[in-house]
């Protein structure tokens, strides 16, 4: 004799609370009193979050990496109450950072579904080399638990760093006078010398005394 009972999805409305009770019967009819009532809300974990977008130079700080994502297609009867953003490291593992923790002081990230992380932080926690793609995954949580992770992004921002030390500063002897000193140098080639292939130089600072 079975001791389980299942209600199919066609009979349930997501997010609705149902009450269940039972009593035992024998050949003479219902012999027991009704059991205590059990309340159950029809919910499930959220769907996977769509692939996040990872870009540089947007938002309030143009030097930071911006991660944005959308809500899951279905939350299955319970609203999302938390997201987890994790970064893929050079060894293939994943790490999180407090910059993308909506439960921290940065509560606004939760409602806007975005977070800003400094490039230096991402370099430190991922161990990725310059020009490597910054790979991110996101998952959603509701009162039932964590949903599946999103797929990681296959495009977007790459790791950048400071330009390399410049060399080759010379003065133009043909233009030298007691009132003019002309300096020349070769512009670094876009790539590791400038801090990354997508990180062109914005100018130079000259120091002299």
Q: What is the number of structural domains in the chain?
A: 3
Residue 199 has a CB neighbour count (10 Å cut-off) of: 21
Residue 100 pLDDT > 90: no
Q: Clarify whether residues 129 and 167 are in a common domain.
A: no
Q: Clarify whether residues 186 and 122 are in a common domain.
A: no
Per-residue pLDDT band for 18 (boundaries 50, 70, 90) equals very high
Q: pLDDT value at position 90?
A: 96
Within a domain: 184: yes
Spatial neighbors of 25 by CB under 8 A, at least 6 apart, are 31, 32
- Phi and psi angles of residue 126, each rounded to the nearest 5 degrees, phi first: -100, -25
Q: pLDDT value at position 110?
A: 64
- Give me the CATH number covering residue 125: 2.60.40.10
In whole angstroms, give the CA distance from residue 141 to residue 129.
Answer: 32
Q: Clarify whether residues 174 and 102 are in a common domain.
A: no
Within a domain: 156: no
pTM (2 d.p.):
0.78
Choice among 96-105, 111-120, 128-137 with the minimum mean pLDDT: 96-105
Q: Clarify whether residues 18 and 59 are in a common domain.
A: no
Residue 107 pLDDT > 80: no
Q: Clarify whether residues 139 and 62 are in a common domain.
A: yes
Residue 194 has a CB neighbour count (10 Å cut-off) of: 21
Q: Clarify whether residues 141 and 171 are in a common domain.
A: no
- Write the pLDDT tens digit of every residue in 178-196: 788 888 887 887 777 777 8
In whole angstroms, give the CA distance from residue 180 to residue 43.
Answer: 78
Of 101, 116, 146, which residue constitutes the final position of a domain?
A: 146
Residue 62 belongs to domain spanning: 53-146
Per-residue pLDDT band for 106 (boundaries 50, 70, 90) equals very low
In whole angstroms, give the CA distance from residue 22 to residue 32.
Answer: 9
Per-residue pLDDT band for 144 (boundaries 50, 70, 90) equals very high
What are the residue ranges of helices labelled H in the chain?
A: 108-112, 119-126
First to last CA, the chain: 95
Residue 55 sits at the vertex; the CA angle it makes with 49 and 56, to the nearest 5 degrees, is 150
- Write the pLDDT tens digit of every residue in 41-94: 899 999 999 999 999 876 667 778 999 999 999 999 999 988 899 999 999 999
Within a domain: 1: no
In whole angstroms, give the CA distance from residue 125 to residue 87.
Answer: 8
Q: Clarify whether residues 85 and 32 are in a common domain.
A: no
Q: Clarify whether residues 129 and 175 are in a common domain.
A: no
Q: Clarify whether residues 132 and 76 are in a common domain.
A: yes
Within a domain: 116: yes
Q: Clarify whether residues 82 and 32 are in a common domain.
A: no
pLDDT > 70 fraction of the chain, expressed in percent and rounded: 93
Residue 171 pLDDT > 60: yes
- Phi and psi angles of residue 156, each rounded to the nearest 5 degrees, phi first: 130, -155
Within a domain: 155: no
Per-residue pLDDT band for 102 (boundaries 50, 70, 90) equals low
Within a domain: 3: no
Beta bridge partners of 19: 39
Spatial neighbors of 45 by CB under 8 A, at least 6 apart, are 76, 141, 142, 144, 145, 146, 147, 148
Within a domain: 78: yes
Q: pLDDT value at position 105?
A: 44
Q: pLDDT value at position 103?
A: 57
pLDDT > 90 fraction of the chain, expressed in percent and rounded: 45
Q: Clarify whether residues 32 and 61 are in a common domain.
A: no
Q: pLDDT value at position 136?
A: 97
């Amino acid at each position: 004799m079975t001791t389980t009972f299942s209600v199919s999805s066609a009979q349930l409305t997501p997010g609705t609370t149902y009450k269940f009770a039972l009593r035992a019967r024998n050949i003479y009819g219902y012999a027991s009193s009704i059991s205590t009532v059990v309340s159950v809300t029809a919910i499930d974990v959220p769907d996977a979050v769509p692939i996040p977008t990872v870009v540089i130079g947007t938002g309030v700080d143009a030097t930071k990496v911006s991660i944005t994502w959308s809500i899951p297609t279905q939350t299955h009867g319970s609203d999302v109450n938390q997201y987890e953003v994790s970064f893929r490291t050079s060894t293939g593992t994943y790490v999180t950072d407090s910059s993308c923790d909506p439960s921290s002081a940065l509560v606004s990230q939760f409602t806007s579904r975005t977070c800003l992380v400094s490039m230096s932080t991402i370099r430190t926690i991922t161990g990725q080399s310059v020009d490597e793609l910054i790979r991110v995954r996101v998952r959603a949580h509701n009162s039932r638990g964590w949903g599946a992770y999103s797929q990681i992004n296959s495009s977007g921002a790459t790791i950048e760093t400071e330009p390399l030390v410049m060399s080759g500063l010379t003065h133009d002897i043909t233009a030298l006078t007691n009132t003019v000193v002309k300096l020349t140098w070769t512009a670094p080639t876009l790539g590791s010398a400038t801090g990354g292939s997508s990180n062109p130089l914005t100018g130079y600072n000259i120091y002299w005394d």
